[in-house]
Every structure is written in structure tokens, then in C-alpha cells.
Amino acid sequence: MTRPNIIFIVADDLGYADLGCYGGRDADFGPVSPVLDSLAKNGLKLTQGYANSPVCSPTRFALATARYQYRLRGAAEEPINSKTRGTPLGAKLGLPPEIPTVASLLKKAGYRTALIGKWHLGYPPHFGPLRSGYEEYFGPMSGGVDYFTHLSSAGQHDLWVGEEEHHDEGYLTDLLSQRSVDFVNRMSAGEAPFFLSLHYTAPHWPWETRDDRETAEQLGAGITHLAGGNIHQYRRMIHHMDEGIGWIVEALRSNGQLDNTLIVFTSDNGGERFSDSWPLVGGKMDLTEGGIRVPWIAHWPAVIDAGRSSSQQCMSMDWSATVLDAAGVAADPGHPLDGISILPVLQGEGAEFSRPLYWRMLYRGQRALRVGEWKYLQVEGNEYLFNLARDERERANLATQEPERLQRMRADWEAWNASMPAIANDASYSLVYTLKNMPAR
């Protein structure tokens, strides 16, 4: 088979049940995500897929490298934010250009590569998409920007083409979608396969739909928007993203590229203030299921039969390994992958398999391990053991009923943690909001 084109779409802070195909409720205007629902209906939907982290940039390190993010200093649970731009700390925190990435490996193998959307892996001149395998880049470098003014939370303009700041009028979600359509059209005229990383900022704050330009002018640099937003705006933001994905699907179809294009959709972590994660508990920053279990949709008509659902357990870095496998590209032997390809599951030729999934967070001293239907969790020194097959909401702590299993899983986590670089002594984390701003979830 001809090597596939690959479009890897990442939403920002999307909850597990925000999409209709994952049980999300309709909005007042109708279905929230009809395009993504259709991709799931005509492809593969995974119900036990996870993000590598419950916070933005660490997951993006894992997606870029197909390795645990903990292996790199910049991803050590220390979110890179706009205030590190141009500082000595900012010169340390980022994805080192010498580290092989999915994009650099695909580029070396003849793929045309582009990142359109959020980077969040460090600032030029030390870091940047063009230094890590992408030939083209359009989007914000920081973790969040206003949808209209394109200002970061530090009040700096943050929209780039390559490594040059670029001023463009328009609603950011639409700009990213339109740029992606243009990329598909241009690449379809050539012979080489293409790899597009499309990293939307939606539905991340600030809470702005296409109709909220006036809100943007009022906010200025106050884009965390703690006093604004509502579920209706939030769902429309998702819908705008869904519409843009529809434009891209139509561009693929009109160029005769849809059948042999692998489209993957996910979120970088669990949802934030207005998200829906039912029946899961928790959200962004938490290692409870609502903070790390996310949608995973794969659409590839030439390979994936329509209407499939899988309970294969996986995390972000596994999908990066899967992309390389689908393209027939080997990993760099000096940087062996932690991710495990699930291409046989996509192809319908391989049985689902169990593998351990590990997490750690400096915030609240969190640690987690999932093996099969069991999950070990520690938060602020308190230990929990859950059977997720019976208790997805993590309410029934079985630690005292299963002491041997608890001890075994704790030891497994500690052995894994010892194999990873320690969290740096000067590492920190940032919280956008606390109990002062919003009651506990």
C-alpha cells in the first residue's frame, strides 16, 4: 500500500464526554460535534485511551517523541508558560532540537511536515517547530492565546509563521482550519506523503466564540477569563473546531486523498472548567480518570473498517509510535520508544493487549499506574486501589480488601519511577485557578 498521509489533531483541554460520540449531550443549537461523530462512526473509537499527562506541555513532549515526557527536563511537570519567554529559565525549558521526533523521523523518510496550531514546547531561538522536524509552522508558541487579539497571558503577541511573528486578523480556530485546508491542497498537488500536526487551542480559555470579538477587546491580557464563560460558549467553541475539521475532511475528499489518510483525533489532557467527563471524576491537573482519559478517534478508510470500537488501553506516546509504524518508519536506535504501536488494533488484525500505564505529577504528589482493570493511585500520600471495570468513578477504594495487589502495584510504580530521571529540585507548577476562583470539582 502507498504510504498514508497522516493528520494528527489535538484539541486543548477537551473532556472525555464533550463529543457526541462519547456520550456528550446536544447543545441548544443541536449536535456539538457532528463531523467528529461521523469520523468515529466510519472509523475506530477507543474507550480506554489516555493522555500522557493531565496538563498541556508534558503530553505534547510525549506526542512529539513517542517517549515518556519525564525523560526531558522541560517536561518534568513544569508547564512552560508565556512568562518564561525570553528568560534564562525559558532557555532551559523546551524540546531540544537534537532529540528525534515523529516529525523529524517522517521528514527524513520523505514526508512533508507541518505543525499548524499550538506548540507549547519552548521558544526560539533555543526551541521551535522548525528545529524539531517541521518544515512549516503557523500558530502560537505559548500555552494559550486570545482567539482574536492573539495575545498570550503575558500580554505579548503570540502568533507565528515559522520563527517570525505574524499578524493575522480572524478567529484563531478558523485560521488554523483554513491554513490546514491550504496545506492539504498544496500537498495533494505533489507526490510525497504528508504529515500534518493540527493542534487546536480550542476549547481552552479564554471563552470566546466567533461572535465574541468584543470580549477579546475587554480582556486584553487577562485571557485566563476567570470571571467569564459558560457551557453554551464552551460547546460552540468545540463546534467551531468540529466545523473546521469538516473543511479539512472535504479538502481531502476533493483531492482524492481521504481513503489513504490516517486521521487521528484526541485531547492533550482531561477537561477544564466547563467540560463534561461523565462518568469520570476529576479534570485537568488530576490523575483521576477525568484528568487523563481522553477521546481517541482514528479514521482511515483504506485500512480501518467502519463502526469499530475498542477498549485497547493506550496513551499518547503509543499513538506516536503507531504513526511511525503506519508510515513504515523506524525509531532512532539511540532513542528507543516508550510508546507501543497499536497499528494491528487499527488494522483489525491484532487482539487487544494489556500493558502498564504509568503517570506521576509533582502537583499534590500524585502517582498512578493502570494494569488491566486495576488502577493504583496516590494523592497527597493517600493510597487508593480501584477496579475500573466496576468503578470508573473511582469511588470504592479497595486498598484494604486487596493488600497484596496494592503492595505489588506500588512496588511496580516505584520500580518504574526509579527508571526515570528524577523531577528537578527547582521544578514548579502553575495553577490558573484555585478554590478562591472555583469550588472543588
State pLDDT tens for residues 125-180.
Answer: 999 999 999 999 999 999 999 999 999 988 999 999 999 999 999 999 999 999 99
Shared domain check, 414 and 305: no
Q: What is the pLDDT of residue 76?
A: 58
Is 427 a domain residue? no
Residue 13: strand pairing partners: none
Which of 90, 91, 85 has the alpha carbon at shortest distance from 165? 85
Residue 117: which residues within 8 A CB-CB, separation 6 or more?
10, 138, 139, 140, 176, 197, 198, 199, 200, 201
Shared domain check, 378 and 350: no
Q: Are 344 and 318 in contact (CB under 8 A)?
A: no
Q: What is the pLDDT of residue 77?
A: 58
Q: What is the pLDDT of residue 49?
A: 98
Q: What is the pLDDT of residue 1?
A: 65
Is 424 a domain residue? no
Is 143 a domain residue? yes
Q: How many domains does the chain have?
A: 2
Q: Are 357 and 315 in contact (CB under 8 A)?
A: yes
Is 263 a domain residue? yes
User: CATH number for the domain including 216?
Assistant: 3.40.720.10
Residue 263: strand pairing partners: 7, 299
Shared domain check, 336 and 188: yes
3-state helix, strand, coil in the chain (%, to 5): 30, 15, 55
Looking at residue 269, its amino acid is: N
Is 307 a domain residue? yes
Shared domain check, 348 and 367: no
Parent domain of 366: 358-418
Q: What is the pLDDT of residue 84?
A: 78
Shared domain check, 131 and 36: yes
Is 431 a domain residue? no
Shared domain check, 385 and 295: no
Shared domain check, 374 and 348: no
Shared domain check, 348 and 368: no
Q: What is the pLDDT of residue 132?
A: 98
Shared domain check, 299 and 245: yes
Is 413 a domain residue? yes
Shared domain check, 384 and 277: no
Shared domain check, 224 and 97: yes
Shared domain check, 364 and 351: no
Q: Which residues of the chain fall below pLDDT 70? A: 1, 74-79, 441
Unique residue bearing C-alpha cell 500500500? 1
In angstroms, rounded to a whole number, what is the distance separating the alpha carbons of residues 82 and 119?
12
